[in-house]
Amino acid sequence: MKCFIGIDLGSTTTKSVVMDDTGTPLGHGITNSRSNYDTAALVAKTEALISARLVLLRQSLDKAPGLTLSTDDVLYMLERHFRLAQFLVQLDNLKRLCGEKAVQGNYKEDPATLTTALERTFSALKIELSKLFEPGAERKSDFFRDLAGTVYMEVAESQAAELKISSDTLINIYDKSIIEVENIPPQVDMSETFLVALDSALNAGEIQTEDFGKVQAALKEVLAVELEETYVVGTGYGRARLPFPKEHIRSEILCHGLGAHLMYPKTRTVLDIGGQDTKGIQVDESGIVVNFQMNDRCAAGCGRYLGYIADEMQLGLHELGPLAMKSTKKVSINSTCTVFAGAELRDRLSLGEKREDIIAGLHRAIILRSMSILSRSGGVEDELTFTGGVAKNEAAVKELRILVQENYGDLKINIDPDSIYTGALGAAEFARRAVEA
Amino acid sequence: MSTKIETPTDSHGSSEIQEPQKDSSMLMQKEMINSNYDALTNTANNGKKVCSTFVPGNLNELIQSFGLLNNLPETNAIQNAMRQQSGGMIQTAERQGHSEDVCTYVKADIGMMSKGNIAPNGKPMPNPDLLLLSYTGCFTFMKWFELLRQEYKCETVMLQVPYQGDGEITQNMRDFVVKQLKEEVIPALERVSGNAFDIDKLRENMRRSAQAEDDLVWVLESAKNKPTPIDAYFGAIYYLGPIFTAFRGTQQAVDYYRVLRQEIEQRVKNGQGPITPGGEMTKERYRLVMEGPPNWTNFREFWKMFYEEGAVVVASTYTKVGGVYDQGFRHDADNPLESLADYCLGCYTNRNLPKRVDMLEKYVKDYEADGLLINSIKSCNSFSAGQLMMMQEIEKRTGAPGAFVETDLVDPRYFSAANVKNRLESYFQMIEQRRQGNMIASAR
């Protein structure tokens, strides 16, 4: 079948959406952006195609009679085993590269000791990390870098202590290797891995033989469907570096405008807060951009600001919103300058203000800045669609609702849980229109 | 991805930055600007006295009637920026304690002084004998010359120019400026030069000014053609060099603008587009009106972002900062002092916001532009304050979309190429999308 692919190469993450020729999104994928943009784009696209296969499988299973397991259960099980297989390939790459670095790296430690430390670290890693893919386990991130990194740091530290070597050396080896691992293009054969994943679910006793046969048949059928990459459109901050010819590239303003329109056709204003820019976009009833404003001399008050604050407070990015929601007192933060905000934050802490109140103030500061960009772009009209990574943050959403209410009255504010894919969705639709229209 | 792709750069040759195609006018212009620097840095031998002044309110006809040389610190800052020298100069000034927020022209000038006051030709600049401020619409100009006065301890005259708050020049305002010309400016010029005021020389100069102004206006208005034979911002800045600086009122300027006009007439006849550093633009895709000064540190890079996309500026306000000739003003030899007063009072940034909006509206309509682009300058509030209202008003009146890019005059730290390009590309694509949307709508 014909597939149209949009890739949004952002400063923090790279997103991809696969669409069929009727304009229905089939799947989406995401990965962290990295130094090699080609690989980031390829990984995101591969992920979107994997997700598309799973969507096709869901459609097929929904029609298949007589399964004991529910479709949801089958897909959850299959995806877990698939992700584990994918993950273990990357873990092997990491192990190999770390081993090479240990020998070639001119570290003060004896290479043999380092090799032993790494052997033991990786054995423990494999066990620990495999647990993340067991039924019911929660993963805090979908990115290999995050998952492997956290556990590696813990294990390496205890190994270093045991073998009386510097844990800094082990961490240094990791840091050098992970970048290379991320720049290796995806090596997994998708079809084979899916079938092996199903076998492994059978071996683990998670699926009965009778169901297995039916699922395997459906899966083989779905895998046999050719997903033809008919047209690809790239967008996002790094679009100029995507390995695409110029005609396959659209500005993220246009893609976000169209993406938001596809998600919510009554959208007239789009606010997108990404890692390093904030955009206010006005669209007409067809999703055509009629006006926009964005920051370009300074990235104050963008998504990265929250990342920096989270680091300053030794919190995870996803913990900021829930913490701010606990605020009971209004603390104003004046600076949206990322660097100054750190100083202001420490100053407020020293004055005895509570963390949650300060964090809530920081969220308000970001949204205040967005409001000025929105008003520059022509204000806010019904309906407002909020997109970008920051739209996932409940405290930011809360402040936005308050400020929109105060300045523009009762408007409908749309936030899609998949809003991070808005730009990629718009890009996929541009790809479809380039061929179908 | 099987589609055959042709990038816009293919259509006008290589995308490499090349030396702009040099016409006779271009060579003449370069020679003129260089000759002024040579005269300035040779005062030890030629015995000439130097008057420093500004482009807005530049009284070149008067200055030259006394035989003084004209030095323009603003233009020096621009020259230094285009030679990648201003960044270091600004940092020198900041090391002395000048704030990051101060006008970067001022800091580039102060930094240049501290670094031996070397002119763009590599020779030391003489100290000025007179600081003549003939436009107070920019308050920073006054502070700038106060700083220079402190340094050089030379004679300083500040001509107070009332703001056109109500959008017009009244007889009172004119009389006030003429009175100052007679009682302050001319006596100072006489003292410094040692020459008596000669009104006939002034009239002669002004007659030549008007002649050059006629040809300049013709050239600027040639952008009403489709395709436009000139870029009325990036390209026009070269055309304005002589008339904004030490040449208005000279025979050289008359000759230069006549040759320039002939060249452009030829381009119109041939249906040619403007010359850019990437060669001649063969496909005009976006016609824009531009408000605000350009960025000078990355001038070529900034321009390239336009011509690579087929975007051309058809009218701009910055090219009027040294005289708004296309709105009818001419130097008038029959009423020399009144005309000089009107010239100072009529500076672009001395016009109130409604007048500036009217001018932009006229440009968008008369030049059939696709949109209004504002280059908002971090360190120039004289230009930037009010631009948001102006943009919104233009959008309302013309329906053409407006957009901001944010850069600076001569501080390279405030030019973020990736972000500016991102914004421009988005803007161009938006125009294109709206155009297609309108086509679909009108086909229904």
For the stretch A127-161, pLDDT in tens is 988 999 998 888 877 788 888 888 898 888 888 88
Q: Are A261 and A429 in contact (CB under 8 A)?
A: no
Contact (CB<8Å) B395/A291: yes
Q: Please report the pLDDT score of residue B16 as a whole number.
A: 38
Contact (CB<8Å) A284/B437: yes
Q: Please report the pLDDT score of residue A336 as a whole number.
A: 66
Q: Please report the pLDDT score of residue B1 as a whole number.
A: 35
Closest partner residue to B426 (CB to CB) among A247, A251, A284 is A251
Q: Please report the pLDDT score of residue B175 as a whole number.
A: 98
Q: Give the containing element (helix H, strand E) for A194.
A: helix A190-203
Q: For A188-197, A249-258, B201-210, B433-442, which range has the lowest pLDDT when averaged over its residues?
A: B433-442
Q: Which residues of B touch A284 (CB under 8 A)?
A: 437
Look at chain A and report how many structural domains it folds into.
Answer: 3
Domain with A310, as residue range(s), is 266-415
Q: Please report the pLDDT score of residue B440 as a whole number.
A: 65
In a domain, A255, yes or no: no
For A74, phi then psi, to 5°, come to: -60, -45
What is the secondary structure of B197-225 as a DSSP string?
--HHHHHHHHHHHHHHHHHHHHHHHGGGS
Q: Please report the pLDDT score of residue A247 as a whole number.
A: 80
Closest partner residue to A297 (CB to CB) among B416, B429, B430 is B416
Q: Which residues of A touch B425 (CB under 8 A)?
A: 251
Q: Which residues of A touch B (CB under 8 A)?
A: 229, 231-232, 237, 240, 244-248, 250-254, 277, 284, 286, 288-294, 296-297, 376, 378, 434
Q: Please report the pLDDT score of residue A238 as a whole number.
A: 73
Contact (CB<8Å) B378/A294: no
Cβ atoms within 10 Å, residue B132:
27
- Two structure tokens written together for A178: 């992970």
Closest partner residue to B430 (CB to CB) among A232, A277, A289 is A289
Same domain, residue pair A273 and A361: yes
Residues paired with residue B6 on neighbouring β-strands, in sequence order: none
| B220-to-A99, B229, B239, B278, B375 alpha-carbon distances in Å | 68, 10, 9, 21, 20
The closest of B316, B334, B312 to B326, measured between CA atoms, is B316
Same domain, residue pair A271 and A312: yes
Q: Are B338 and B170 in contact (CB under 8 A)?
A: no
Task: Give B80's pLDDT tier (boundaries 50, 70, 90).
Answer: very high
Distance from CA of B164 to the nearest CA of A (A): 27
Q: Give the containing element (helix H, strand E) for A185.
A: none
Same domain, residue pair A271 and A408: yes
The closest of A268, A238, A185, A245 to A431, measured between CA atoms, is A245
CATH of residue A375's domain is 3.30.420.40
For A321, phi then psi, to 5°, come to: -55, -55
pLDDT above 60 (res B4) = no
Return d(Cα B249, Cα B237) in angstroms, integer.
19
Q: Which residues of A touch B419 (CB under 8 A)?
A: 277, 296-297
pLDDT above 90 (res A77) = yes
Q: Are B125 and B71 in contact (CB under 8 A)?
A: yes
Q: Please report the pLDDT score of residue B437 as a whole number.
A: 76
Cβ atoms within 10 Å, residue B238:
18
- Helix (H, G, I), strand (E, B), or coil: what is residue B54? coil
Same domain, residue pair A233 and A163: no
Closest partner residue to B434 (CB to CB) among A288, A297, A376 is A288
Mean pLDDT of the B48-70 span: 96
Same domain, residue pair A291 and A407: yes
The closest of B56, B115, B55 to B85, measured between CA atoms, is B115
Contact (CB<8Å) B404/A293: yes
pLDDT in tens, B394-417: 999 999 999 989 899 999 988 988
Q: Are A193 and A86 in contact (CB under 8 A)?
A: yes
pLDDT in tens, A266-316: 999 999 998 778 899 999 999 999 999 887 666 667 888 888 888 888 887
CATH of residue A34's domain is 3.30.420
| A141-to-A138, A165, A353 alpha-carbon distances in Å | 9, 30, 31
pLDDT in tens, A398-428: 999 999 999 999 999 999 999 999 999 999 9
Q: What is the ipTM of this complex?
A: 0.75
Closest partner residue to A231 (CB to CB) among B1, B8, B427 is B1
Q: What is the CA radius of gyration of chain A?
A: 24
Same domain, residue pair A270 and A406: yes
pTM of structure? 0.83
Q: Are B213 and B326 in contact (CB under 8 A)?
A: no
Cβ atoms within 10 Å, residue A326:
13
Same domain, residue pair A330 and A355: yes
Q: Give the containing element (helix H, strand E) for A274.
A: none
pLDDT in tens, A51-67: 999 999 999 999 877 88
Q: Give the torsion through C-alpha atoms of A128, A133, A137, A138, to 10 deg.
A: 90
Q: Which residues of A touch B5 (CB under 8 A)?
A: 245-248
Q: Which residues contact residue A53 at a Cβ distance below 8 angstroms, ignoring those fewer than 6 apart?
A: A27, A190, A194, A222, A223, A227
Q: For A226-235, B224-233, B359-368, which range has the lowest pLDDT when averaged over its residues?
A: A226-235
Residues paired with residue A437 on neighbouring β-strands, in sequence order: none
Q: What's at A186, amino acid-wise?
A: P
pLDDT in tens, A247-273: 888 998 999 999 999 999 999 999 999
The strand pair at B371-377 and B402-407 is best described as: parallel
> Measured between CB atoms, does B137 come within 8 Å of chain A?
no
pLDDT in tens, A206-218: 999 889 999 999 9
Cβ atoms within 10 Å, residue A245:
14
Same domain, residue pair A291 and A361: yes
Bond before A383 cis per omega within 30 degrees: yes
pLDDT above 90 (res A37) = no
pLDDT above 60 (res B61) = yes
Residues paired with residue A384 on neighbouring β-strands, in sequence order: A269, A413
Distance from CA of B422 to the nearest CA of A (A): 7
pLDDT above 70 (res B391) = yes
Same domain, residue pair A324 and A387: yes
Q: How many CB pairs under 8 A join A and B?
A: 79
Task: Give B21's pLDDT tier (boundaries 50, 70, 90).
Answer: low
Q: What value, to the nearest 5°, has the Cα angle with vertex A283 and ends A281 and A287?
A: 125
Which runs of E-coded beta strand occur in A66-214? none
Return d(Cα B42, Cα B45) in angstroms, integer.
6
Return d(Cα B232, Cα B222) in angstroms, integer.
9
Same domain, residue pair A408 and A273: yes
Identity of the highest mean pLDDT range in A187-191, A321-325, B358-362: B358-362
The closest of B239, B279, B241, B278 to B259, measured between CA atoms, is B239
Q: In Å, how far from its chain's centre is CA B212?
A: 16
Task: Give B174's pLDDT tier (boundaries 50, 70, 90).
Answer: very high
Tracing tokens 């989406």 back to the chain, one arrives at A28
pLDDT above 90 (res B185) = yes
Q: Which residues of B touch A292 (CB under 8 A)?
A: 403, 426-427, 430
pLDDT in tens, B116-143: 999 989 999 999 999 999 998 888 999 9
Task: Give B443's pLDDT tier (boundaries 50, 70, 90).
Answer: low
What is the secondary structure of A385-424 as a DSSP string?
EEESGGGG-HHHHHHHHHHHHHHH-S--EE--TTGGGHHH
Q: Please report the pLDDT score of residue A223 as a whole number.
A: 94
Q: Give the torsion through C-alpha atoms of B144, B145, B150, B154, to 10 deg.
A: 160
pLDDT above 60 (res B20) = no
pLDDT above 50 (res A120) = yes
Contact (CB<8Å) B437/A376: no
Return d(Cα A10, Cα B220) in angstroms, integer.
42
> Measured between CB atoms, does B401 come within 8 Å of chain A?
yes
Q: Which residues of B touch A296 (CB under 8 A)?
A: 405-406, 416, 419-420, 422-423
The closest of B326, B234, B227, B325 to B270, measured between CA atoms, is B227
Same domain, residue pair A286 and A378: yes
Contact (CB<8Å) A247/B3: yes
In a domain, A75, yes or no: no
Q: Which has more confidence, B66 or A185?
A: B66
Q: Are A271 and A370 in contact (CB under 8 A)?
A: yes
Same domain, residue pair A21 and A101: no
Q: Are B162 and B137 in contact (CB under 8 A)?
A: no
Q: What is the mean pLDDT of chain A?
A: 89
Q: Are B202 and B61 in contact (CB under 8 A)?
A: yes
Which runs of E-coded beta strand occur in B109-171? 130-133, 155-158
The closest of B9, B67, B4, B36 to B281, measured between CA atoms, is B9
Q: Find, in chain A, the residue whose alpha carbon is nearest to that of B308.
A: A246
Q: What is the mean pLDDT of chain B?
A: 91
Handedness of CA A260, A264, A267, A272 (dihedral sign): negative
